[in-house]
Structure 1
């Protein structure tokens, strides 16, 4: 059983890299950021006032969320409905910080994240007990501080904006990057008020992918995992 925790800011590549690492090692994959997006979609769909922190926290506590852990095709279901595309809309991206900075929501989702990680230790888990890669904001320090490998995946602001622009707009020219800037930097700024993901904590290895391509970044993370699990 191996637990790999990956933190990082928006556009650092943590989701795609973590999926690739999980696939290479035959592990389960948990996208904790998708859980916050799903919570946002759930609250918006219920008409919950996102400024009412108690109401939001209650809505999230009763949220029927199921996370599929296959790195080749992770799924997100809310009340039995596939919402993998719906949680990536601009409406959700704009509103998610209001939910993600709610401390009671964070406590509830961290509890669920730990449950998923613990469940993957059992032979009946997705990866048959081999382990899991969990990625997000405070996975290395709060959710899984005892993970076998803990990585802070980062990149320069320029690189992160370019990558997210390609992902969202299919282009990385000046206008596309500017259209992405507020969403990326504001989300990081808001989340930084409740989570630490810019500087590695003690025992967390930093992988800077600014000058690395995708395969090189995956190899760099795998090298970190190999050092601590050898």
Structure 2
């Protein structure tokens, strides 16, 4: 029997080096300096590096902007929302595993017991909210997706009511750009060409520059390399720019 080639797992030192490179490379001057870690959590967890999520959390809370429990709780809400939104594009298990590991090393006084979706209803208002966000991203392209799903109504329902209604149209904790960073990172890291193209285009449509989107893609590719993944099927922003 041929030996099974078991890949080497990344080390904590390599993860720390990755975080430093991503923060330095990320276009913070134009997008915001509190967003690089949103992309990093999303792509790293969806890419199978979820065991390093608590390490990133521990590094973040060392910073002066998180010196109080209230500031660390606000950070936790942003991390949790990133991972919650990630469920809609990458499934529940990896984000849930990351949340368990982060919670295990969170100081009791830093735990946040708020519930962002309390009172949520799968009603017409939810559907309208989801559609409004879809419309900003897809515009005239939505019709072709709706046509394709007209014979797959379960997927149409879950896309409009759950993926967009429940998860992605809620911008109370993460704003529109942060939401797209989460979605683009979580999808591209899976080497999915169709949906990556949609969200490269969507990120451009909500106002992120072509140059910044290209840099974001390069950051995701660095995370993919760290996770041992090939991202050879996905398009680049230059490939979809004519659709924007």
- TM-score where L is the length of structure 2: 0.30
Kindly indicate which of the two structures has a greater share of residues assigned to strand.
Answer: 1
Structure with the bigger RCO (C-alpha within 8 Å, sep 6+) is 1
Kindly indicate which of the two structures has a greater share of residues assigned to helix.
Answer: 2
Larger radius of gyration: 2
- TM-score where L is the length of structure 1: 0.31
